[in-house]
Amino acid sequence: DAKTTQPTSMDCAEGRAANLPCNHSTISGNEYVYWYRQIHSQGPQYIIHGLKNNETNEMASLIITEDRKSSTLILPHATLRDTAVYYCIVRVAAGNTGKLIFGQGTTLQVKP
């Protein structure tokens, strides 16, 4: 399974953009990059996913490098409620179970 590497923790000032990096150098061509976040052991919340192209939705933007070996999740205007653990996950390809394998994630602390 492709694995990801994320910083253990990051701080961000409220109202500023939060840029969360993720390395996935062993990703395969048909594997997606997914981002989830988890607040206080609630169920993980889906944020965004992508394969090759950059993606944007109402929550965030996902920037994937051309070689697909790394990506960055961008929260454009972080609020205190964005404080959470953010997981970058490379999803195993179909033909397996398509399950998500969670690492330790990045704890993002948004400060006033």
Partner 1 sequence: GAGVSQSPSNKVTEKGKDVELRCDPISGHTALYWYRQSLGQGLEFLIYFQGNSAPDKSGLPSDRFSAERTGGSVSTLTIQRTQQEDSAVYLCASSSGPSSGNTIYFGEGSWLTVV
Residues that bind partner 1 (CB under 8 A): 30-32, 34, 36, 41-46, 49, 51, 91-94, 96-105
Nearer to partner 1, 10 or 102 (CB): 102
Q: Which is nearer to partner 1, 14 or 59 (CB)?
A: 59
Catalogue the long-range contacts made by 12-15 (C-beta closer than 8 Å, 24 or more residues apart). Answer: 12/75, 12/78, 12/82, 12/108, 12/109, 12/110, 12/111, 13/78, 13/110, 13/111, 14/78, 14/79, 14/80, 14/110, 14/111, 14/112, 15/77, 15/78, 15/79
How far apart are CB 75 and partner 1 at their closest, in Å?
Answer: 19
CB of 2 to partner 1, least distance (A): 11
Which residue intervals of 1-112 are DSSP H helices? none
The DSSP bridge pattern shows strands 61-64 and 70-75 to be antiparallel
Shortest distance, position 29 Cβ to partner 1, whole Å:
11
Task: Find the shortest distance in angstroms from Cβ 87 to partner 1.
Answer: 8
**Nearer Cβ to partner 1 (13/30):** 30
Question: 51 or 74, CB closer to partner 1?
Answer: 51
